Structure 1
Amino acid sequence: MAAQSWLERLRGAKKTAVVQDDGSEMVEEHEVSNDQLMVRKWRQKSQLGSRGPWQVEVGETFPGAVGSLEQQLIQESSSNPIFTRKDTKTSFQWRIRNLPYPKNVYSATIDPDQRCCIVRTSNKKYYKKFNIPDMDRCSLPLDSSALSFTHANNTLIITYKKPTEILQLEQEVLQELKKVKVAEDGDVDCKTQ
């Protein structure tokens, strides 16, 4: 009975797929009510042709399934810093949770040669280097004046204001997504093997 209910829910879900010739896969999840990007993740085929693990670019990564053997044997400390990206309409934004130091200890800078952002503390307790894949894909230079940060509730929030070129590109992508036909109930033919 429960399997039938799940199958009905699956058939009623909205689905889309695009397959690329190079074997790479990208999945994006958007909030329907405001077109906000919630998750973007990529995976590539390995040299032997198997599918590699998902690499999350935007959104949160979640540890293995509850009760999995890997989780029972070894587990990260819950007090370790947690680095995630969650964009807004006008900026790229990263959150680093579990950083208890005062705001004046942190610095956020741009390294134009390595095309990355660097977050560090003056007390040498935290250091993180990360790039902005969207800027790399568009071959846009990084601008130090677009980078800022704030700290509250043990969370460091780093913000990089999106340049006009990225905002225009995102609008074009949203227009393309709105053209995609959404599968309605009964449009999908599921045949058992």
Structure 2
Amino acid sequence: MKLLLLQKKLEQENQQHHDLIQSDFQDSYRNLTIKTMTMLEWLSAYCVRASFAMKIDSDMFLHVPNLVKLLLDSNTKTLNYMTGLVWWHSPVLRGLFNKFYMPKTVFAEPEYPPYPLGMAYVMSLDLPRKILEVSSHIKPIFIEDVYLGMCLKRLGISPTDPPAKTMFLVDPVHPLSTCYLSKVIAMTTTSIPQMKSYWERSRQPDAKC
């Protein structure tokens, strides 16, 4: 009964705001790859006229003007493009009690192909369809950003480092200075009030170096 009531509330919210995508699987950490592929299916089906899409976690601060500035830059590719905080030569962790334990029977190589960290990444909208096509030939693993890297490798595509290391931050030292904040696109935060504070500061006229 509770599930039926929750489902009804979700449908009501979607009728009002049109901001929900729902699929039939358990929303858990081990199923993040399923969630990511569902997102790519939706992008491929409904966003064909868009140029870029961004996936970002709920604990991230997003500096939208800086993101738009990057995407409008003439040096930013519009095809086969994925950027974020790119992990290069990431070792495969074999410790049985590690959260990211990966047995050799699932992934035999000692390091993963390059991939943008799942906290926040941007892709050109030609990639969802291409990734979906090759994914049927690649055994899925539960680490969803690594799996995207595996698909990119199969496509012969490498993720792109952002123009500056300050754009994507996974473990920033808080609080950030106004100067540093003015260079950020996405970074992890520790609370909603902190995220709101950064958003308000970023909107001030003097929010620059």
Larger Rg: 1
Q: TM-score, normalised by structure 1?
A: 0.28
Looking at secondary structure, tell me which structure has more strand per residue: 1
Q: TM-score, normalised by structure 2?
A: 0.27
Q: State the structure with bigger RCO (CA 8 A, min sep 6), 1 or 2.
A: 2
